[in-house]
Amino acid sequence: MTPEQALAAAPAKAPAAVPVEGEAPEAFELDGQPMVRWTDAEGCTRVAHDRCPHRRAPLSAGYVADGVLRCRYHGWGFGGDGRCVDVPALGPEGRIPPRARLEVVPSEVPVTLPAAPTAGSWLDGDTPGLERFWHQACRLGELAPGASVETELLGTTWTLSLAADGATYSARTAEGAEPFAVQAHLDHLWLAPTAPLAPLPEVPEWGQDGWHLRRLSRAEGRFGVGLLLDNQLDAGHFAFVHTTTFGTPDAARLPESVVERDGTTVTCTMRVPIAARNLAVVEAEDDEPRSHRTMHYAFHAPLWLRLQLDYEEGLGSTILLFGFVPQGPGRARMDLDILFRRPEGFTEDQLDERLAFEEQVVAEDLHLQRLFHDLRLPLDPAAELHTKADRYSLTCRHLLRDLLAEAAATV
C-alpha cells in the first residue's frame, strides 16, 4: 500500500473545537528562572516555569481561555492545578500523558520551583559529530569569480573562495586549515569539515521544465538549529502558530500519517486541512477559503529537509528545501529555496504573491522560535513529553541521536 492509499483508507474523524486566542499570561523571573503567571478558572493566580513540558516552548507566549493556560506552539491546555487537560493533536478522546503537568504554586508563595532538566544529549550549533556531515556554506550567487565570503560553521569561521576562472571552489580557516571537501550542489556551496557519513540530498525536480525556483529571505541569528529543524518537521503547530496564513482549528487534530526510516532519511506523508487564505477556494459556511493539501516530508540527516506540498483543486505543488546551518552555540542560519510548479494560467504576479505568502508563514514560525529560553534540542526522549502525534519528529530525533553518536565515536 502506498502512503497515499494508506491515508485514503484511514477513517475520517471530526476535529475538536479548540480556542486559538485568549488573554495574555504574564512573564516574569524568579531567582533568575523564567516564570509565567496567569489566573485560572477559579480566579486564583497561578505561577509555573515558563516552559511547556511538551516542547519547552515559553508558555508566556501563549494565552488563557476559560482559565486554561494554553501553549502557543501546540495548544496544550493546563488547568490551575497544573494538570494538562487538553492535547488538541490527539482529539477529545486521546490519552493525555500522565506526566503532562506543570509544577504550579500560588503567586504569593515565595517558592523556587525545580530548574529545567539538563541531563541527556542535546543538539546545538557546536554538537560533537556534526563535523562528519555536509553543511550548506553559502549560496553560489554570493560568490563572484575571484572573490571570497566568510561563513560561520560549528563555531569556526571559514573563508569561501571562487577561483578567477569561475570553476574551482575552496575553503579555509584563518589558521589555514582546509575542509575534507567542498562541492557545488543545488545552487549552494556545501562544506564537509571531515569525511561525511551521509550523502548530499538529491532533488529530481531541480532544473526540470515546469518548476520555478525562488528563494526566501535568510533567517540568521539567535536560533537553535535543532529547534528550527524540529519546527519544520512538525505539523501539530499549524492551528496555533499560523493563525494569519493557513492555520485553521480544523487542523488542531492531526490525521493519520505514514512514517518510514531508511538509512539517513526519514519520510512522512499526511493530508491536512488548511485555511487557504491565499487561494481562490471556498468550501466553508463562514466563507473563509478552505482546502486540503498532502504533505510529503523527507528529512535528510542531519540538517536538511525537503517538504513537498501538493494542493488540491488544481492549485499546483510547492517543494520547500530547508537548509539548517549550525553556526555555533545558540546561533543558526536557515536557508529556504522553493520550487513552484505553476498551475495552468498562473501568472508571474500570482507566483510572487505565493512567495510573499510563504515569507509570512516562515515569519510566524520565527516569531515563536525567537522566544525560546533554551535553544538546544534534546535528543534524549526523557527530556520532553511525546504523544503519537509526535511520531515523525521523534523518529527524526532518534536518527539524529544515532548518527551523532556514531560520528562522535569515529572522529
Q: What pLDDT was estimated at residue 272? A: 84
Q: What pLDDT was estimated at residue 274? A: 80
Q: What is the CATH number of the domain that holds 88?
A: 2.102.10.10
Say which residues have a Cβ less than 8 Å from residue 129's Cβ, sequence separation at least 6: 403, 404, 405, 406, 407, 408, 411
* DSSP per-residue letters across 125-141: TT-TTGGGS-EEEEEGG
- Both 155 and 50 in one domain: the answer is no
Q: What pLDDT was estimated at residue 154? A: 98
Is 271 a member of any domain?
A: yes
Is 309 a member of any domain?
A: yes
- Both 221 and 347 in one domain: the answer is yes
Is 205 a member of any domain?
A: no
Q: What pLDDT was estimated at residue 349? A: 85
- Both 375 and 263 in one domain: the answer is yes
How many separate domains does the chain show?
A: 3
- Both 329 and 406 in one domain: the answer is yes
Cell of 76: 496544550
The full 3-state SS of 371-411, as one line of letters, equals CCCCCCEECCHHHCCCCHHHHHHHHHHHHHHHHHHHHHHHC
- Both 102 and 156 in one domain: the answer is no
Q: What pLDDT was estimated at residue 283? A: 45
Q: What is the CATH number of the domain that holds 156?
A: 2.20.25.680
Specify the pairing of strand 265-274 against strand 33-39. Answer: unpaired
- Both 290 and 234 in one domain: the answer is yes
CA 153, 159, 163, 169: dihedral to nearest 10 degrees? -20
What's the gap between Cα 13 and its chain centre?
26
Low-confidence ranges of the chain (pLDDT < 50): 1-17, 119, 280-285
Please state the length of the chain: 411
- Both 63 and 177 in one domain: the answer is no
Q: What pLDDT was estimated at residue 26? A: 96
Is residue 320 within 8 A of residue 338, CB to CB? The reply is yes
- Both 392 and 259 in one domain: the answer is yes
Instruction: State the residue range of the domain holding 34.
Output: 13-106
Q: What pLDDT was estimated at residue 108? A: 55
- Both 282 and 163 in one domain: the answer is no
- Both 267 and 394 in one domain: the answer is yes
DSSP class of residue 316 equals: -
Q: What pLDDT was estimated at residue 91? A: 86
Q: What pLDDT was estimated at residue 19? A: 64
Q: What pLDDT was estimated at residue 250? A: 73
N-term to C-term CA, the chain: 41
CA 9, 14, 16, 17: dihedral to nearest 10 degrees? 140
- Both 271 and 359 in one domain: the answer is yes
- Both 172 and 218 in one domain: the answer is no
Q: What pLDDT was estimated at residue 110? A: 53
Quick check: pTM over 0.85? yes
Is 6 a member of any domain?
A: no
